Amino acid sequence: MLAELKELWRYRELLLVMVQRDLKIRYKNSALGFLWSFLNPLLTVGVMTFVYSNFIFQKQPNMAAYIMAAYLPFMFFQMCLLDSAQSIIVALPLIKKIYFPREILPLAAVLSNFVNFLFALAIFFAYLLINYALHPGSFPIQPTVVILPLLILISFCLSLGASFIVSALNTFYEDIKYIVGVVLYLLFFLSPVVYFDETVANSHLNQNSGWLAYKIYNLNPIAQLCTAYKKAVLAPYDPRVMAPAGASPDEIVRVGAIPLSWKYLAITGVTSFLVLYLGYTLFNRLKWRFVERP
């Protein structure tokens, strides 16, 4: 693996140009240009906020921020997988003619999405600050925001590792990309994007199973990352706000706000690095067969 990394470093210029090219192509043929990359999440978050703040979490202030905090990293993971799945097949005419480290293709797809992700995060923070300026209250950004770089690193490793696996396998079995689409769709519901991990903790399923459901739920690295982004940046969500007027909150709600769990975050971190390591190993084993695929 060390030799492969060295070779990759030798081709860093190509990687850079490839990322530039990706970003350029994506926005070149559209009048609104770079805006498109944010219009989609903006609309999605807008609709989700409308539905969930009006129909479900009616008493939770600033629901949009909670949704965004989890949806942006989720979207980053999703886009990485969908883009990189096709990255090698699309470049097949090129890699049949010329040598360069094949891992540059999924890596460039992940990196250009990473640039988008960072922009999206910047917009997210701008939104928080503007919202604070318009409706002054308690400051929305928590001090735990300092661990954000760590969360971003974990997200990046997980996305890259999964992208290596998906791009390598999709080259041989083109049904992989459909499977990935379905899995991502299901993963969205299994991750606390439009709800909270406290919601899971308070569920009958969890209470009756002696917290087993919550434990299993948090082993999913995507779910744990969504939770961690929310808890690191924003004020804790307290399920007690959901109690109906007149009722004593403690009768309805068994578990209050759950702080960021270092244990689950550590598990997620280790899982992500493992996915990256295994993904890259798998990719390196298969990469010479891309051009010879049946």
Partner 1 sequence: MSGNGLIDIKELRKEFNLSTSGAASIKTALLWWKRRNMVHLQVLKGISFQVHPGECVAVIGKNGAGKSTLLSLLARVYKPTSGKIDIKGRIAPLLELGAGFHPDLTGIENIYFNGVILGLTREEMKARTDKIVEFSEIGDHINAPTRTYSSGMLARLGFSVAVHVDADILLVDEVLAVGDYDFERKCYAKIDEFRANGGTILFVSHQMDAVRRVADRCIWLKDGEIHRVGPPDQVIGEYEGRDLAPESG
* Contacts to partner 1 by CB under 8 A: 13-14, 16-18, 21, 24-25, 28-29, 93-100, 172-176, 288, 291-294
Name which of 10 and 135 has its Cβ closer to partner 1.
10
Name which of 177 and 230 has its Cβ closer to partner 1.
177
CB of 252 to partner 1, least distance (A): 47
Name which of 59 and 293 has its Cβ closer to partner 1.
293
CB of 28 to partner 1, least distance (A): 6
Name which of 175 and 251 has its Cβ closer to partner 1.
175
Name which of 135 and 293 has its Cβ closer to partner 1.
293
Name which of 229 and 283 has its Cβ closer to partner 1.
283
CB of 180 to partner 1, least distance (A): 13
CB of 17 to partner 1, least distance (A): 5
Which residue pairs from 248-254 have beta carbons closer than 8 angstroms and sit at least 24 positions apart in sequence? 253/202, 254/202, 254/207
CB of 170 to partner 1, least distance (A): 10
237: left (phi > 0), else alpha (psi -120 to 50), else beta?
beta
211: left (phi > 0), else alpha (psi -120 to 50), else beta?
left
CB of 94 to partner 1, least distance (A): 5
CB of 281 to partner 1, least distance (A): 17
Name which of 27 and 38 has its Cβ closer to partner 1.
27
> For 28, phi and psi rounded to 5 degrees?
-75, -40
